[in-house]
């Protein structure tokens, strides 16, 4: 999880193939080719991979629990060690594949039910969600937890995708510290409605994120950075001068993949709001 923080919310397949543990040893935490990693020297599964493919309203997090399908074939086989994680109550790692070779990790995750007739396990994404397994009826509390779980997955996926697309860099100042980077929304999106598109995001350091959200910094649809007039006239220390004023007129650093570039229509909408407030 430290590794993910340093990257800005994601890990690469290379990170996962050789991860140093607090004990000093290092170990692989993802299977080389399959979606479930059952190390030979462990009784239970260490990690499982899931790929978000559809909208969040799907049954993936029905009832506040994550539905993880059995591996094809026997109900035992690879599934046996995941069942063992359930029996032992030991946590596993859930790796959300957000793009090729890029994963957003969630840990600790608990296997809280084994539904053999549906060929799936139910996973609780934190300690608090574990109680949901024993209570199947719809309660207000349950739908509240379900909404939280969806939101959390959505936000984590969005951050991982956006910051990975910007190669762990602030789009304004190119700062390269994942711990200091956020995935900012250009226009608000609805977590219930769809996938977290990178084109509605910007990888921004904390200060530029806050400046963007408060219309002290605007980004034109031509990817030009603008600083609010009232800030340009001020005299103050180095953060104002180098961090903000000198960015005025600079070009935004954007991802190389066309589909990941910031959406110009969304920027235009946001930029007109900036212009209203910038004088």
Binding characters for Zn ion, 41-80, by CB under 5 A (x = yes): ----------------------------------------
Please, which residue, 159 or 208, has the CB nearer to Zn ion?
A: 208
Please, which residue, 173 or 216, has the CB nearer to Zn ion?
A: 173
Q: CA–CA separation, 169 vs 134, rounded Å?
A: 43
Residue 48 Cβ, how far from Zn ion at the closest point, in Å? 35
Contact 96, 35 (CB under 8 A): no
Q: Looking only at residues 168 through 227 of this chain, which bind Zn ion when binding is defined by CB under 5 A?
A: 170, 172-173, 175, 205, 208
Residue 185 Cβ, how far from Zn ion at the closest point, in Å? 16
Please, which residue, 162 or 170, has the CB nearer to Zn ion?
A: 170
Please, which residue, 93 or 175, has the CB nearer to Zn ion?
A: 175
The three-class DSSP label of residue 71 is coil
- What DSSP element (H or E) covers 48? strand 47-50
- Cis-peptide, bond into residue 255, ω within 30° of zero: no
Residue 230 Cβ, how far from Zn ion at the closest point, in Å? 20
Contact 163, 183 (CB under 8 A): yes
Please, which residue, 195 or 231, has the CB nearer to Zn ion?
A: 231
Q: CA–CA separation, 110 vs 63, rounded Å?
A: 15
Structure tokens at 73: 């074939």
Q: Looking only at residues 114 through 173 of this chain, which bind Zn ion when binding is defined by CB under 5 A?
A: 170, 172-173
List Cβ neighbours of 50 (8 Å cut-off, separation of 6 or more). 35, 60, 66, 68, 94, 95, 96, 97
Residue 220 Cβ, how far from Zn ion at the closest point, in Å? 17
Residue 168 Cβ, how far from Zn ion at the closest point, in Å? 12
Q: CA–CA separation, 117 vs 119, rounded Å?
A: 6
Number of chain positions touching Zn ion (CB under 5 A): 6
Please, which residue, 115 or 239, has the CB nearer to Zn ion?
A: 239
Residue 256 Cβ, how far from Zn ion at the closest point, in Å? 19
- Cis-peptide, bond into residue 170, ω within 30° of zero: no
Q: Looking only at residues 3 through 22 of this chain, which bind Zn ion when binding is defined by CB under 5 A?
A: none
DSSP symbol at 224: B
Which residues form the interface with Zn ion (CB under 5 A)?
Answer: 170, 172-173, 175, 205, 208
């Amino acid at each position: 999880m430290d590794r993910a923080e340093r990257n800005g919310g994601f890990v690469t397949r290379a990170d996962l193939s050789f991860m140093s543990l607090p004990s000093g040893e290092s170990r692989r935490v993802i299977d080389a080719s399959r979606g479930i990693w059952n190390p030979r020297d462990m009784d239970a599964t260490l990690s499982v991979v899931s790929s978000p493919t559809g909208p969040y309203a799907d049954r993936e997090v029905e009832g506040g629990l994550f539905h993880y399908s059995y591996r094809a074939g026997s109900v035992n086989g690879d599934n046996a060690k995941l069942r063992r994680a359930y029996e032992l109550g030991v946590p596993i790692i859930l790796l959300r594949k957000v793009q090729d070779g890029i994963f957003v990790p969630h840990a600790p995750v608990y296997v809280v039910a084994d539904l053999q007739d549906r060929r799936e396990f139910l996973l609780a994404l934190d300690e608090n969600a574990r109680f949901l397994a024993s209570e199947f009826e719809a309660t207000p509390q349950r739908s509240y937890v379900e909404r939280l779980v969806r939101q959390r997955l959505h936000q984590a996926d969005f951050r991982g995708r956006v910051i990975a697309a910007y190669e762990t860099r602030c789009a304004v100042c190119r700062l390269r510290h994942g711990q200091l980077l956020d995935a900012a929304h250009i226009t608000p999106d609805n977590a219930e409605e769809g996938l977290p598109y990178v084109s509605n995001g910007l990888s921004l350091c904390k200060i530029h994120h806050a400046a963007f959200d408060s219309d002290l910094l605007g980004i034109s649809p031509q990817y030009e950075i603008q600083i609010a007039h009232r800030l340009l006239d001020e005299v103050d220390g180095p953060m104002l001068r180098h961090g903000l004023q000198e960015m005025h007129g600079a070009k935004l650093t954007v991802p190389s993949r066309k589909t990941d570039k910031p959406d110009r229509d969304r920027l235009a909408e946001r930029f007109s709001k900036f212009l209203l407030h910038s004088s």
